[in-house]
């Protein structure tokens, strides 16, 4: 298992949106998907997941619906809405800009002369 890192504040929402963009998932499924797509490098606190889901649904970025899970149980499935998809795109771009900028900043070497 790779080394684990704490989530930056605000990144959980982004990861949830990304996970849900790959298909409808129930809460636990989203947790597993995040673990999978981060290759276990980032660990979401399980209890923090549901307030985040609730918030995103409330903001209209996710929609939910009750269905039947793989193990034949009733579960609540979350799906990305159109505005959720747009938000994911925007957040991804701004994240990338940030990473590039921070990376460049941290990669800077002292000027010789």
Partner 1 sequence: MFAQLQSLWKALWNRSQMESELDDEMRFHVESRAQDLLGSGLSREEAHRRARIEFGSMVSCEEKVRETRRVTWLEDLAQDLRYGWRVLRKNPGFATVAVLTLALGIGANTAIFSVVYAVLLKPLPYTNPEQLFTAFQANAQQGIAETGCSYLNFEEWRAQNHVFSELAGILAHQLTLTGRGEPSVVNTSVVTPELFALLDVKPVAGRIFFPQDGKQGAPSVVLVSEDLWRGRFGADPRIIGTSIDLDKRPFTVIGIIPTAFRTPFFNTKQEVWIPLVQDPLFSTFMPQRGVHLLPALGRLKPGVSVAQAQAEMDAISGRLAGEFPAENKGWSVRLVPLQKEIVGDVKTALLVLLGAVGLVLLIACVNIANLLLTRATSRSREIAVRITLGAGRTRIVRQLLSEAAVLGLFGGVAGIGLAYWGVEVLSSLLPRNLPLVNVIRVDNVVLGFALLLSAVASVVFGLAPALLAANSDLLTSLREGDIRSGESGNRRRARSFLAAGEIALAMVLLVTAGLLLRSFSKLMSVSLGFNVQRIVKADVSLPRFQYSTPQQWTSFSGELLARIQAQPGLQDSAVAVPRPIIDRQVNLRFEIVGNPPFSAGASRTADYVSISPDYFRVMGIPLIAGRFFNQHDVMSAPRVSVISQAMARLYFPNQDALGKRLTFGFPPSGAAEREIVGIVGDVRDVALGQAPGPMMYVPYAQAPFWGANLIVKSTMSPSSVAGAIRQEVRMIDKDLPVTDVALMPGIIEASIAQPRLGTSLLSLFAAMALVLAAIGIFGVISYSVSQRTREIGIRMALGAQRENVLKQVLEEGARLAAIGLAAGLAGSFAATRLITRLLFGVKPTDPLTFAAVAVILIGVTLAASYIPARKATRVDPIVALRYE
Answer yes or no: are the C-beta atoms of 14 and 64 closer than 8 Å: no
Nearer to partner 1, 46 or 100 (CB): 46
**Per-residue tokens: 93:** 């771009």
CB of 72 or CB of 111, closer to partner 1? 72
- Applying CB under 8 A, the span of 3-11, 12-20, 52-60, 93-101 interacting with partner 1 comes to 52-60
Closest distance to partner 1 from the beta carbon of 106 (Å): 33
Please identify which residue in 14, 21, 37, 69 interacts with partner 1, judged by CB under 8 A: 69
Q: Is 67 helix (H, G, I), strand (E, B) or coil?
A: strand
Pick from 14, 24, 37, 57 the residue near partner 1 by CB under 8 A: 57
**Which residues, 6 or more positions from 77, have their beta carbon under 8 angstroms from its beta carbon?**
24, 25, 26, 64, 65, 66, 67
- Of the pair 18, 29, the CB lying nearest partner 1 is at 29
User: Which residues are within 8 A (CB) of 95 and not within 5 positions of it... i.e. 6 or more apart?
Assistant: 14
CB 44 within 8 A of CB 29: no
- Which residue, 83 or 93, is less far from partner 1 as judged by CB? 83
What phi and psi values does residue 42 have, to the nearest 5 degrees? -115, 135
Binding site for partner 1 (CB under 8 A): 26-28, 31, 45-52, 54-55, 57-60, 69, 71, 73-76
């Amino acid at each position: 298992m790779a080394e684990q890192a704490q989530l930056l504040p605000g990144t959980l929402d982004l990861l949830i949106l990304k996970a849900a963009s790959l298909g409808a998932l129930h809460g636990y499924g989203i947790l597993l998907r995040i673990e999978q797509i981060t290759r276990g490098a980032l660990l979401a606190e399980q209890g923090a997941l549901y307030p985040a889901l609730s918030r995103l649904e409330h903001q209209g970025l996710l929609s939910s619906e009750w269905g039947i899970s793989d193990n034949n149980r009733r579960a609540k499935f979350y799906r990305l809405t159109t505005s959720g998809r747009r938000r994911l795109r925007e957040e991804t771009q701004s994240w990338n800009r940030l990473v590039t900028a921070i990376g460049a900043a941290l990669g800077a070497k002292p000027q010789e002369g």
